[in-house]
Amino acid sequence: MRRWAAKCLPSRPHPPTVIRARTLALTVATWNINSVRIRLDIVRAAVERLRPDVLCLQETKCQDDKFPLNAIRELGFEHIALNGQKGWHGVATFSKHPFTAVEKGDFCGKGDARHVAVTLDAGAGLDKPVTIHNFYVPAGGDVPDREINPKFAHKLDFLDELTAWDRLLADAKSPDGHAVVVGDLNIAPLETDVWNHKQLLTVVSHTPIEVEKLTRLQAAGPWVDVMRGFVPPADKLFTWWSYRSPDHTVNDRGRRLDHVWASRSLAPHATAMTVLKEARSWEKPSDHVPVALTFG
């Protein structure tokens, strides 16, 4: 194993959550990295473990002209789409396959770097071109009241704009191509997406109004929650553990804030999922872990 992997990985790693069905064709990974430049080592470690064809990062916190492109290309990603800004937000998508199109959405008129979409042609291994939308939905602050918390109001408005966005709806329903939505959507919609449903009903990320808006967004596509095709809705599934917890492995107080949705045409082609839970215990971790879905 390469030296950087030995440095970053635990000496006795726990196996990731892996559910596999059949031969792989295109693997798409998503991860809120929480500042890419200070976490390049664990990006390398995750790529070594997951071997994605496409890697989508959120909260990169890096301007485009400051992005560590050489390090990303060394990982085998020659095709790079960036939407960054100084110190905040930021999304980036890296691919081993060429893009035929790149698009950056601007929502709520704030100029925040929260979306980038790329389209891969059929040469990526699927029967039709696939468009991958990479989102970083606003977190929403601490108080779930839009009247006194502008951050929460921004989150709700952002979700409303996405639900009505013609481009996203067209991609979901296109007869000529497939589509995927990935990213940190900052909402845990199901009761089993949080460690304690009743305690978190008044906590931002699991409030009824957020869940209702995310559900409307999903239904508008309609989009298929392909993660829950591998882990039944009755079972717990987390991708985020707070930095405030002294040891997340003891109480396992997590939430599923990271999602992978597919258009109805693509969802039946999902063959494998990995939630790399061990990444939360790596050196200088993000509070999120990578999620990878394979389509073939």
Active site residue 160: no
What domains are defined for the chain?
28-295 (3.60.10.10)
Q: Which of 136, 171, 193, 287 is catalytic?
A: 136
Q: Which pLDDT value is given to residue 16?
A: 54
Q: Which pLDDT value is given to residue 9?
A: 38
Q: Which pLDDT value is given to residue 95?
A: 97
Q: Which of 53, 112, 171, 184 is catalytic?
A: 184
Contact partners, residue 215, CB within 8 Å, separation at least 6: 189
Average pLDDT per consecutive 10 residues, the chain (296 residues; last block may be shorter): 33 46 73 98 98 98 97 98 97 95 95 97 81 98 98 98 97 96 98 98 98 98 98 98 88 96 97 97 97 96
Distance CA 129, CA 177 (A): 5
Q: Which pLDDT value is given to residue 24?
A: 41
Pairing of strands 240-241, 223-225: unpaired
Closest Cα to residue 75, out of 38, 41, 103, 120?
A: 41
Q: Which pLDDT value is given to residue 256?
A: 98
Q: Which pLDDT value is given to residue 127?
A: 79
pTM to 2 decimal places: 0.91
Distance CA 57, CA 238 (A): 18
Q: Which pLDDT value is given to residue 126?
A: 75
In the block, residue with structure tokens 């060429």: 98
Active site residue 171: no
